[in-house]
Structure formats: structure tokens, C-alpha cells
Amino acid sequence: MNTATARSANIQRTEGPRTVIVRAVIGHLALFGVFFVPFTKELLIAAVIGFFIRVFAIEGGVHRYFSHRSFKTSRAFQFVLAALAAANGQRGPIWWAIIHRRHHRFSDQPGDPHSPVTLPRHKAYYTWLIDDQTLSTNLDEAKDLSRFAELVWINKHHYLFPLATLALTFIVGQYTALFGATGLGASAVVWVFFVSMVASQHAPYIVNIYAHGTRPNPFNLRRFDTGDTSTNMWWWAIPSLGAAFHNNHHRYMNAARAGFYWYELDLTYLILRALAALGIVWDLKEVPAQVLDEGRRKAGTRAPV
């Protein structure tokens, strides 16, 4: 096999821009279904729970684990994290990690896939997903992940996971009373699948464009000089499960926590600590003392660190 053939063999392209657009349109149009299907409080509770599970799959899974290797886990739970992330409709775990590593390597510079500093805001928010440079996965860019055959398979067949989740959601809603009654298949699909999935997809998109390219203000705090425009958005900390402490993260990306101080609520880190107590994950990387001290010095009397 020559060099060109070997290189092409390591490129995965599982969908084109039209597929991405059609999927996004269907997902957002499905939200209007909330006005036409039966509703129960159990559906709303399940949608909220589903939202947080999905956001954890993004933030704790493809972000802190696959992108930054901020903790260790078994190969079995690694598979679970990858499958959960793929089920959220944001392509595969290797693709996600590669895109995010590029974001750190070129933060707010040409080459950053979704910086509002170098791109129009609408493109930095969503349409970067259909750029030719972001549609494919070059497995050589993440050899630490592509050495696992099951991750390569999930990355290639990522679309199967949201489809399987949709089918399972319909079956549970239609034939069990888990959501308050039987016969709620359509309602379950709208609320538990589409509402939670679409909302969770927007959680990191909001971080992408509002934690970058915004001057520090009471809603966008900047503690560390990181060489980019990253800020901490305390107001988005809970919906993003801690990802909104973005300036912290850009100062020390390998930590298992983005909320560096006691008053910065980082729900992903709390979940990881609980999983560590159960022995499911281990070796959580902490923030070095010198980084914490640097943050205290820079904060001065402006915030209780």
C-alpha cells in the first residue's frame, strides 16, 4: 500500500453537509411536536434527566475523557461513554476529540474550527459542522483513540446510536407506563428524545461562541491570561455541567474539573468523583497548586477564592 492509499484508509467520512443540515432541520422541527402530543409530568422529568445524561456524555465523556484524558477508566466504561456520546447525534467520539484538540491548538486563531473571533458568529455556532475540513475524521490525528477498534467502529457508525435510542424511546413510551401511561410513544419521542437531545447539543455550542470573543464583564469573567479570549460564564455552569468555566479550562485543560474553586459548581466533576468512589473511574487529574495560586493572585479581592 503506497503512502497516499494508507493516508486515505485512515480517513473516515460518514456523512456529507446535506445529511448534517437535514438532521438539524428534522431535530428542530420536531420540537414543535410538544404542542401536538399528549403531555405528562413524567415526560418532562424524563426529558430533564435525559438532558443532563446527554450533557455529561459530552462534557464528561468526549470532552474531559476522550479529548483530554483527564481520568482513567476501563475499556468497558470507555465504550459506554463513546456510545452515549454517539447517541447524542454529534458524530463519533474520535471526531469530537480531534475537533476539540484543534480548538485548543489554534484557539481564536485561523485553524480553530469554531471561534467567533475568526469566523462569523453563525458559522462559529453551527455551520462550521458542514465545513469540508470538519466533516471527516483523520484517525491519525488521534492515534491514542484510534488504536481501539470499537471506538473506530462507533466513530464510523455513529448514526446508528441515535436511531437505536429513538426506537427504544418509542417502545418504552408506547408499551410501558414509565412516562405516566401507555400509548405515549409519540410523546416520548418528542420530549425524551428530541427535546433533550437538541437542548443538550446547544449546551456546548453556547460555550463555543459566548465564552470566546466577549470582553470580560459581570457575566463573562476572565481569571487567567491564556493567550486567547476565553472567559468563565458562571451563568451557564449548571446547564453545561461545568463546561462554562472555560477560561479555567483553557488555563489547564488536562484537569478533571473546570470549576477550580469551591464556589464554581462543576457538576461533571462531582459525577466523576462519585464514579471514582464506585471504582468505575480513577486517577482523576487535579489542578496543580501553582495554577490555583495563580488564580488567587489574579482574582485579588474581586472574588473569594
- Structure confidence at residue 14 (pLDDT): 86
What percent of the chain has pLDDT above 70?
95
Please give the grid coordinates belonging to residue 284: 482523576
Classify residue 260: in a domain, yes or no. yes
Q: How many CA atoms lie within 13 A of 191 on its CB side?
A: 24
Domain annotation covers residue 152: yes
pLDDT at 2 over 90: no
Instruction: Please report whether residue 7 resides in a domain.
Output: no
pLDDT at 301 over 80: no
- Residue 281, judged by CB atoms within 10 A of its CB (0-12, 13-18, 19+), counts as buried
User: Would you place residue 86 in the very low, low, confident or very high pLDDT band (cuts 50, 70, 90)?
Assistant: very high
pLDDT at 4 exceeding the cut of 50: no
Range 33-56 average pLDDT: 98
Average pLDDT over residues 138-143: 96
Which 3 state secondary structure label does DSSP give 125?
A: helix
Based on the number of CB atoms within 10 Å of its own CB, is 62 exposed (0-12), middle (13-18) or buried (19 or more)? buried
Residue 8 covered by a domain: no
pLDDT at res. 3? 41
Judge whether 33 lies within some domain. yes
How many domains would you assign to the chain? 1
In a domain, 4, yes or no: no
Cβ-proximal residues to 27 (8 Å cutoff; 6+ apart), any chain = 89, 194, 197, 198, 201
Counts for the chain of helices (H) and strands (E), in that order:
15, 4
Q: What is the pLDDT of residue 8?
A: 55
| pLDDT average, residue stretch 284-303 | 82
Average pLDDT over every residue of 261-288: 97
- Asked if residue 303 has pLDDT above 90, the reply is no
Q: Categorize the per-residue pLDDT at 5 as very low, low, confident or very high, splitting at 50, 70 and 90.
A: very low
What pLDDT score was predicted for residue 298?
A: 77
CB 229 within 8 A of CB 117: yes
Domain that holds residue 203: 16-299
Residues of the chain above pLDDT 90, percent = 91
Any domain includes 119: yes
- Within-domain flag for 244: yes
Q: What is the pLDDT of residues 199-253, one digit of tens each?
A: 999 999 999 999 999 999 999 999 999 999 999 999 999 999 999 999 999 999 9
Radius of gyration of the chain measured on its C-alpha atoms: 20
- Confidence at 9, pLDDT banded by 50, 70, 90: low
Rounded to an integer, what distance in angstroms lies between the CA atom of residue 33 and that of residue 108? Answer: 38
**CA quadruple 254, 257, 259, 263: dihedral, nearest 10:** -150
CA 123, 127, 133, 139 torsion-angle sign? positive
Give mean pLDDT, residues 13-29.
Answer: 94
Task: Give the C-alpha separation, 43 to 41, whole Å.
Answer: 5
Give residues with Cβ within 8 angstroms of 136, minimum separation 6: 11, 12, 13
- Res. 165: pLDDT tops 50: yes
Residue 305 cell numbers, joined: 477564592
305 pLDDT more than 80: no
Looking only at the bridges linking them, the beta strands covering 11-12 and 137-138 are antiparallel
Residue 236: CB atoms within 10 A of its CB come to 20
- Please give the pLDDT value at position 6: 40
Least confident of 9-13, 47-51, 106-110: 9-13
Are 174 and 184 a contacting pair, CB within 8 Å?
yes
